[in-house]
Each structure stands twice: as C-alpha cells, then as structure tokens.
Structure 1
Amino acid sequence: MTKFIFVTGGVLSSLGKGITSASIATILKQSGLRVSMLKIDPYLNVDPGTMSPLEHGEVFVTADGAETDLDIGHYERFIDATLSAQNNFTTGQVYQSVIKREREGGYLGKTIQVIPHVVDEIKNRVLNAGEGFDFLIVELGGTVGDIEGLPFMEAIRELRHDLPKTNTMNIHVTLIPYIAAAGELKTKPSQHSVQELRRIGITPHMLVCRTEQPLPKDLKRKLAMSCDVNYDAVIECGDAASIYQVPLNFIKEGILNPISNHFNIKLKPNMDKWSTLVKHIILPQHEVNIAFVGKYLDLKESYKSLTEALTHAGAHLNTKININWCDSERIEDVGAYEVIGNSDAVLVAGGFGHRGVEGKLKAIQYARENKIPYLGICLGMQLSIVEYCRNVLELEDANSVEFNADAKNPVIYLIDEFIDQSGEKQLRTHESPMGGTMRLGEYPFEPKEGTNLKKAYGNDDIYYERHRHRYEANPKYKGALEKAGMIISGESNGLIEAVEIEDHPWFVGVQFHPEFTSHLETPNPIILEFVNQATKNI
C-alpha cells in the first residue's frame, strides 16, 4: 500500500516547501523506493496556463501536455522522473469536476457541499496519484490559515483515518525568524502555526525549520515540546549554496531517523553521484559566461527550468555558469555588443508578445556574424529564421504573423494554418479559453544526420521533447533557407523542429523546450552540448 507524506507550510509563503518536498522524495528514491509527487494549488484558476509569468512565474509543461505549477519542474529535476497532469491539481479543477458531475446527475440529486463532495474529490485525486508507488509526497500550496486551503486540510485530516496510521506522515515547513535588534531566534510564530494546524485536526510528525541562524539544542527542545513532535524530528533547514544541496543537508541533520521510525522502514540512500554533482555546482573547476537574452528579467522565476538546465549541464561539465542577464529591450536601445559584451555564448529564450523582439533579433545577428555559440529556444528559433531571412535572404519584410498579421513574407505562422494546409490532425493541440490553439506536450522529432543536433542527441533515430507554442516555422521557405546555408536539422511530421547554420561553428535553434526534460542526474543533451561549446569558446 502506498505511503503518503503531506507537506504543509506555516507563518508565511515562499519558505521552500517545493524544494523540501523534492529533497525528501530524492532521499526516498535514492534508497531504492518507487516515489512520486503531487502539488496541490489552492487557487481558483484551472491551471497556470493563462497566468502572467510576472504573476506566477514559469508555466511547466508535462509530457502529456498539462500546464502546471513550476514546482512540478523541481520535482522532475530532483527525482529524475516524468510526471503528468495527475501530479498537479487546483481548486479550479476540483470544483470544475464536482460541478460537471452534478450537472450530469452523478450525485443523484443530493445537495452538493464542500464536505463530503469537494473533499471526496480531493481525496480521490490524491489516492489516484499514489497508485503503483511506495511513496507519494503531497505538497499543499499556500500557508496554514488560508481560507482557500481549508478543504484540502480537511482531506488530509480524513485520509489519516481512511488509511492505516503508519501510512501517513505530516511534515510542517515553518519559519524561525531571527530578530536582529534582540539578537534572538523566535519560535512563537511556528508555535501559533502548529496550533492552527492542530485546531484543524492535523498534528505534524516533523518540523522543517527554515532559518538564517543555526538552531541551538535548547530551542529545538522547546519547539519539540511546544509543538508535540519528537526532538529528532525538528529538522534545521538553513539557506544552501545550491537547492540540490538540500537533500544532503537533510541527511546530515538526521532526517532519516524520524522517517524510518515512523514508517518502520530502513533508509540507506546512495547519494554518491548526487554528492559529486553538487560539488561541481558549488566548487567547479571552470566557468563560462552565457548571455541570457529575455524580457521577463524582473522575475527570473519565469525562466526557472532553463536556468536549472544550465546548472545541470554545468554540474556534468564541472563548470560554473555565469548568466549575463540581457534585457532585450535594452539591446534595442544601445546595441547587442554593449549588452552582450564578451559572453562566451548567447541564449535567446522563449516568450510571447512583440515587446523586446527587435532586441532579440539584434542579439541573434550578433551571435551569427561573430561566430559565437548560439542556442535559440522556441521563439529564439523562430526569430533566428526571421533574422536569417531578413539579413541573408534579404527579405526585409520577413516576420512572424504573431507580430505582423499582414506580413508579406510570413516565415513564422499559426499552427492552425499548418493543419489547414496539410490536413495533419495528429497534433495534440489545446484550445485556449483566451483564444488560439497551442501545441502542448511531448512530440517526437527526427534529427538530420551529420548535424550538431544529431551529435548532441546520439544514435537513436527518434527523440522526444516538449512544446508550448502557437506558431510554427513556415515550410514554404524551407528550400530558400537551405539554399542560403540554413540547415533544417530536425523535423516532426513535416514541421520544422530545429535549424542550424552551415558556416557557423555552433548555431542551433529548436522549436521545442529542452529545459523541460533536463534533470540534475540526466541533463538535456542539446543544452549540455551548448554549454560544452561555450567552454570551448573561452
């Protein structure tokens, strides 16, 4: 029977529940157990797909095309697993399911209430996510006391009664603030948070204490006594040099004992490879400077998977990645050289909307003309085609229909137009409630022999990567591009998946998002090779 660990948060948000959950899952998986994870988001949005990156950070896309919370990305990166839509659900999805069932007569005319109907829907989703695994780590978003979190707290409380007591564990992540004026760490906020949790009917079995100062033994005893947890289950969690160091820190803190004792199992995680990679992140032998060109630089969480993918590649190459954050709008004002400077490689990330596009085009031109290693992702690939058409094919009006619907040379066009022209119906597309069709999730692609793409990915004929976009490269221009020296190095059912430049040492654009499949232990091949090329350019 699956064992469940429920992770809640107290005092305030952004304490690192996601990293805590992923770290515990990593320890269990490295102990040889089958582990999966679930993130519950109490907001009313059905999913983050329509949220602004500035509001919510990155939207992480799973292999089956679900737009999910960015914590799902952390989960995959830590436990080296492929998760799906069932590993993340929201209040919006829960109520949507309950109302749909009510409209279809599924409740046989009963009055629909939060208890039991909404809570039962939550419990069923949790149990389904845990099927076939030894452990399911369940992270509840928000903070204890949030009104929107109450149905989920009730579901956690009820599951403790539905399942054997030895099969559920509650871990509470809380803040121990340091008051500089008094020179003291304060436990009272955590005590109140646990009191609120117990008032709801949930007693934590472990406290993970986020703190900027080491916790003295007497303070740990005070927390253990006042919060009714065992002394060895008060786990100190200070800031780490890398998020991937947290599982190692937890083991040093003695987290294995309370988990082993609670579930009556022996945990002997093999962290040798993990420790080596973390050492390469914290104390690398080499370093490179990568110009990261984007427009959401005020909130770097918008690019979380991509920055983590660079870290993974750096860990395997024993190289520190220094990211030169380049505002594409500033490039428009002062030019590419002024902003990109002496970077060893240039990366143009994905995005939506016209803002900052001309700056990205200038950055691409700079990388192409100066033979600097270049990787363009999604919009970064599309713009590399636009730039090549304008400056090499001399099609001055070449553009994407995203930015000019009446472009005379629409080298990038809508997915709908591809489907209409080709009759291809095998695309897994998603009709957005805001309008437009998106290509979401994992698709196969075939790399061309002899290309940088093929060298990076290896010997297999077909590979799979994830997508999240509305626009495609127009195959009408394929012949002209190839004649002018742009290689179409990857295709998928007639769609252009990757491009390269013949007379450039390493210039690759990919329509997919390789960062979504990068994990610490298994970095994405094309990003790994991009960083490798950057090291050669030092």
Structure 2
Amino acid sequence: MTRFIFITGGVVSSLGKGLAAAALGALLQARGFTVRLRKLDPYLNVDPGTMSPYQHGEVYVTDDGAETDLDLGHYERFTGVTSRSSDSVSTGQIYSRIIARERRGDYLGATVQVIPHVTDAIKEFIRSDLVDEDFCICEIGGTVGDIESLPFLEAIRQLGNELGRSRSLFMHLTLLPYISSAGELKTKPTQHSVKELQSVGIQPDVLLCRSEYPIDKDARRKLALFCNLREDAVIQALDVDTIYAVPRAYHEEGMDAVVCRHFELETGAPDLTIWDRITDTVRHPDGEVTIGVVGKYTSLIDAYKSLAEALIHGGIANGVRVNVNWLDAEIFEQEGHLQQLEGVHGILVPGGFGERGTEGKIAAARFARERKVPYFGICLGMQMAVIEAARHLAGLEGAGSSEFGLPNPPIVGLMTEWTKENQVERRGADSDLGGTMRLGAYPAVLARGSKVHEIYGMGEIQERHRHRYEVNVNYKDELERVGLHFSGLSPDGELPEIVEVPGHPWFIGVQFHPELKSKPFAPHPLFTSFIRAAVEQSRLM
C-alpha cells in the first residue's frame, strides 16, 4: 500500500524542494523501495509550455507529451523513474477540469467551491495512476503563506487525515539565514514558517533546514522545541559542491532513517555506491574540456537545466570536467565576436523559440563546420545548421525558417500534420500556442553506417520532442548533394530527425531533446560521444 510524503517549502523560494524530493527518492530506492514523484504547481497556467524561460526555467517534457516543471527532470535524473503526465498538475489544470465538469452538469446543480470540489480534485490527482509503489513523494510548489498554494495545503491536510500517520509524512524545507554581524544562524524565520503551516492544520514531521553553516545543538534543540518535533527530525541541508552529493549528504544527516522510522520500516543501510562513484568522478576528473553553448536565454541557466546536467553526465562518462561558456547568440551577429569561440573544444546550439539571436546561431554553426570544431545542434540548433548549409554550401542565399517571416526558400517550415500513436495530429498557423507542438516520445530510423547509428548502436530510437517547426524534407536530396547527410528520419520518411556532416570530426544536429533522457548513472550516448569528441579536440589545440 503506497505511503505518501508531502514536501512543502517556507521562508523563501528556490530552496531546492525538487532536489530534496529527488534525493529522498534516490535514498528510498537505495533501501530497496519503489518510488513515484509528483509536482503540484500553484500557478494558474495550465502548464509551463507558454511561460517564458526567464520566469519558469526550462520546460521538461515527458514521454507521453506533457509539458511540465523542471523539477520532474530532477526526479528522473536521480531515480531513473520515467515521469508521466499524471505526475504534474497545476492550479490551471485543476480548475479547467472542475469547470468542464460543472459545464457537463456533473455536480448536479451543487454550488462549486474550493472545498470540497477543488480539494477533492487535487486529492484525486495525488492518488491517481499509481501501481502500488512503496512511496509517492509529492512536492508542493510555492512557499507556505502564498495565497495560491492554500488549496493544495488544505488538500494534503485532508489526505493526511484520511491516510493516517502510518501512510503519510509531512516534510518542510526552510532556510536558516546566517547574520554575519551577529555571527549566528537565525531560527526565527523557520519557526514562523512552521507556525504558518500549523495554522492550516499541518504539523511537519521532518524539518529540512538549508544553511550555509552547520546547525549547532542549541539551534537544533530550539527548532525541535518550538516547531513541535523530535530533535533528530531536524535535518541540516548544507550546501554541497555538486548536486549528486546530496543523497549521501542527506543520508549522513539521517533523513532516510527518520522517514523509515516514521513509517516503522526495518531495512538495511542503503547502497550508495553509485552516488559515491559519480561524485568521485565529478570531484577528481582526469582532465577538462570547454563547451561553448550559444543560446538565447544564457543569463538564466535554469532555462537550460537538463542541458547543463547532460553535459556534466557526458563528462562523467569520459572522466572529465566540463566547463561551459554560456554565450549569448546575439553577440555573434556583430563583427569580430566569433573569436570568442576560438578556445572552445565543442559548440552546442540548444533549442529555443523566436527570431532573436538566430543569425548568431547560424554563424556559430558555420564556424564549427568550417573550423572542424565538434558541433551539437539541438532542435532549433539543428534547424540553424541546416539553414547554414543551405546558404553556404547549396547557394540558397535566402534560405530561412517560416517561423521568422517569409524566406525563399523555406528550408524550415511549420508542421501541419504528423502521426502519433496511429492517429493524425493537425495544426495550423492560427492554432493555440499551448500544448499544440509535436510533444513527447517519437521514433526515428537511423541510417546504417552513419555516425549516429554507430553512437546509438541500434537502428531505431525513441526520443522526446518539443517543436512546431521542422526541416522541409523536400530539400533533402539537394542538401545531401553538397555534404549534409540526413541520417535519421521518422519511420514514414517524411520528417528529418537527425543531420550530420560526414568527414567532420563531430557535427550532428537533432530535432529532438536528448538532454531530457540523460542521467548521471546513464549518460545519454549523444552527450557521451560529443564530450569524447571535445576531449579529442582539446588534444589537438
């Protein structure tokens, strides 16, 4: 019978609830339990798909095509459990479902209210689509005290009562600020945060306290006394040098032991060998390489969270540290700035939307192709590489994407029809922006003898997509005549999935997002191969 752990946050945002949930999931797995992780977001957007990366960070996409919060990426990277659309919900989705039910007459004329209708819908989501996992860890987005999160807090309060203590646990993540002039950590913000939580009927069973300095016994005793829990349930969460050290750090502080004690579970010590091996590789690399990421949102690295982690995973697979130069694509639209790419060992152009910076990305792709620097183009990065080849190899000077105007020829155009699970999906230029892209896992067939066939070691792959524009397959033959090889296509041969440049040390563009499936204990083969090529490049420089 599934046990539920609810993780809330207080004092300030961005403390790392998602990472805490993921690390706890990894610890419980290391003790032999099965886990499922879920995120409840209090914003009114139906999903983060139309939100600016500057507001929300990256959009994480599941195999079944849900656009979700980036924390689901943490969940997958730490546990290896594939997330589904049923693992992410927002206030917008909850209200959309309730309003649809009311319009159908499902409530039989009743007045629709937050309690019980909204809270019942939230509880229904939390308990849905489970297959008797040992634990379901539910992260509640936002900060305790925010008006937006109140329905979620009320729902988990009710669910905690319904399940009883034998099947529910409340963990609260807070901040202990250090006042340098006083020379001490302050517990008062945490006390007030717990008081706020208690005011809505929730007593935390575990306090996870983020801090830059160790929590002494007096502070721990004070927190336990005023927050009404056991002293050993006050867990310090100190900063670490790599996020992959978090499971070991939390275990040494007793987090998983406290959780098991709460549920009266007897288990042996967790096997953390894999995490120790990962952190040892990160801390003691055999060398290092520098990758230039030429993107649009480089001032906020969370916009490329999975990408940044996948590069680290590629480094782990090759035993090297990956240093990333985050470069704004717009600077390469000006004379003289391409020299910033001179010292990098690999160039990566990630996905994105909108015209800003696209000419800079095309310039970076040309630099990589002509200078024989390893190049990895992802989604828009692949499209820019194809446009670059069309302009400078095939002589199609007006080549471009219809996303940005009316190019001649439109090498990249709006997808209007594709097949998903034996059903035809259709979109138009006037379709809604939200949820209308080619989303989720789709197959691709790899050409025998190609670089990607060698990298994957198989003829057909499944990768996650998030795009509405696609390279026009009608230009395939013309571009292949000038040296661009279409080495991956959809099974029907209509949608280009992968391009590469034969004879180049490493030049690959993919329409999908391989970073979404990379894990520290199972690095994605494309990132492993790309970093290996960067290592070779570093030896030539």
Offset, 1:503:
2.5
Offset, 1:484:
1.3
Matched, 1:363 2:364: yes
In structure 2, the residue matched to 1:320 is 321
Asked if the contact 1:400/1:411 (under 8 Å) is kept, the reply is: yes
Offset, 1:425:
7.2
Quick one: distance in 2 between partners of 1:122 and 1:74?
A: 22
Q: Tell me the secondary structure at the aligned position of residue 496 of structure 2.
A: strand
Quick one: distance in 1 between partners of 2:119 and 2:434?
A: 32
Q: Deviations over 1:336-356 (max 9, x none)?
A: 532212100110111111111
Q: Deviations over 1:55-91 (max 9, x none)?
A: 1111111111111111111111111121111111001
Offset, 1:452:
1.3
Alignment of 1:175-194 (within 5 A): 175-194=175-194
Matched, 1:444 2:443: yes
In structure 1, the residue matched to 2:453 is 454
Quick one: distance in 1 between partners of 2:471 and 2:124?
A: 42
Residue 450 of structure 1 aligns with an amino acid whose one-letter code is G
Matched, 1:295 2:304: no
Quick one: distance in 2 between partners of 1:427 and 1:313?
A: 36
Offset, 1:282:
2.3
Alignment of 1:65-214 (within 5 A): 65-214=65-214
Asked if the contact 2:28/2:256 (under 8 Å) is kept, the reply is: no
Q: Deviations over 1:399-441 (max 9, x none)?
A: 1111232x2211111111x65xx99974657785338941111
Residue 138 of structure 1 aligns with an amino acid whose one-letter code is C
Q: Deviations over 1:165-222 (max 9, x none)?
A: 2110000001111011111111011011111111111101100000011101111111
Superposed CA RMSD: 1.7
Asked if the contact 2:247/2:275 (under 8 Å) is kept, the reply is: no
Offset, 1:114:
0.7
Kindly report structure 1 stretches of 4+ aligned residues shifted beyond 6 Å: 422-425
Asked if the contact 2:515/2:524 (under 8 Å) is kept, the reply is: yes
Alignment of 1:361-510 (within 5 A): 361-405=362-406, 407-416=407-416, 426=423, 433-434=432-433, 437-458=436-457, 460-492=458-490, 493-494=492-493, 495-510=495-510
Quick one: distance in 1 between partners of 2:359 and 2:489?
A: 27
Offset, 1:266:
2.9
Asked if the contact 2:313/2:519 (under 8 Å) is kept, the reply is: yes
Quick one: distance in 1 between partners of 2:414 and 2:443?
A: 20
Offset, 1:475:
0.9
In structure 2, the residue matched to 1:25 is 25
Q: Structure 1 residues 516, 429: CA separation in 2 closer, same or farther (over 3 Å shift)?
A: farther
Quick one: distance in 2 between partners of 1:500 and 1:336?
A: 26
Quick one: distance in 2 between partners of 1:171 and 1:299?
A: 29
Offset, 1:129:
4.6
Quick one: distance in 2 between partners of 1:427 and 1:275?
A: 47
Q: Structure 1 residues 522, 179: CA separation in 2 closer, same or farther (over 3 Å shift)?
A: same
> What is the TM-score normalised by the length of structure 1?
0.96
Q: Which runs of 5+ in 2 are unaligned?
A: none
Q: Tell me the secondary structure at the aligned position of residue 165 of structure 1.
A: coil
Q: Deviations over 1:324-381 (max 9, x none)?
A: 1111111111445322121001101111111111111111001000111111000111
Residue 301 of structure 1 aligns with an amino acid whose one-letter code is D
Quick one: distance in 2 between partners of 1:317 and 1:383?
A: 28
Q: Structure 1 residues 531, 427: CA separation in 2 closer, same or farther (over 3 Å shift)?
A: farther
Quick one: distance in 2 between partners of 1:424 and 1:204?
A: 44
Matched, 1:511 2:511: yes
The alignment of Structure 1 onto Structure 2 pairs a total of residues equal to 533
Offset, 1:528:
1.2
Q: Deviations over 1:111-140 (max 9, x none)?
A: 111111110000010011544311010000
Q: Structure 1 residues 252, 496: CA separation in 2 closer, same or farther (over 3 Å shift)?
A: same
Asked if the contact 1:6/1:156 (under 8 Å) is kept, the reply is: yes
Asked if the contact 1:326/1:340 (under 8 Å) is kept, the reply is: no
In structure 1, the residue matched to 2:525 is 525
Q: Deviations over 1:274-328 (max 9, x none)?
A: 2101111122121000011101111111111100111111122211000011111
Asked if the contact 2:448/2:459 (under 8 Å) is kept, the reply is: no
Q: Tell me the secondary structure at the aligned position of residue 303 of structure 2.
A: helix
Offset, 1:164:
3.2
Q: Deviations over 1:81-112 (max 9, x none)?
A: 21111111001111111111111111111111
Q: Tell me the secondary structure at the aligned position of residue 445 of structure 1.
A: strand
Q: Tell me the secondary structure at the aligned position of residue 537 of structure 1.
A: helix
Q: Tell me the secondary structure at the aligned position of residue 209 of structure 1.
A: strand
Q: Which runs of 5+ in 1 are unaligned?
A: none
Q: Tell me the secondary structure at the aligned position of residue 166 of structure 1.
A: coil
Quick one: distance in 1 between partners of 2:534 and 2:121?
A: 50
Residue 339 of structure 2 aligns with an amino acid whose one-letter code is E
Quick one: distance in 1 between partners of 2:168 and 2:425?
A: 37
Residue 287 of structure 1 aligns with an amino acid whose one-letter code is E
Deviates more, 1:485-494 or 1:168-177: 485-494
Instruction: Name the % identity.
Output: 49
Q: Structure 1 residues 80, 397: CA separation in 2 closer, same or farther (over 3 Å shift)?
A: same
Q: Tell me the secondary structure at the aligned position of residue 404 of structure 2.
A: coil
Q: Structure 1 residues 453, 429: CA separation in 2 closer, same or farther (over 3 Å shift)?
A: farther
In structure 2, the residue matched to 1:278 is 279
Quick one: distance in 1 between partners of 2:88 and 2:502?
A: 43
Asked if the contact 2:447/2:459 (under 8 Å) is kept, the reply is: no
Quick one: distance in 1 between partners of 2:84 and 2:319?
A: 31
Quick one: distance in 2 between partners of 1:337 and 1:297?
A: 17
Offset, 1:259:
1.0
Quick one: distance in 2 between partners of 1:385 and 1:335?
A: 23
Asked if the contact 1:278/1:315 (under 8 Å) is kept, the reply is: no
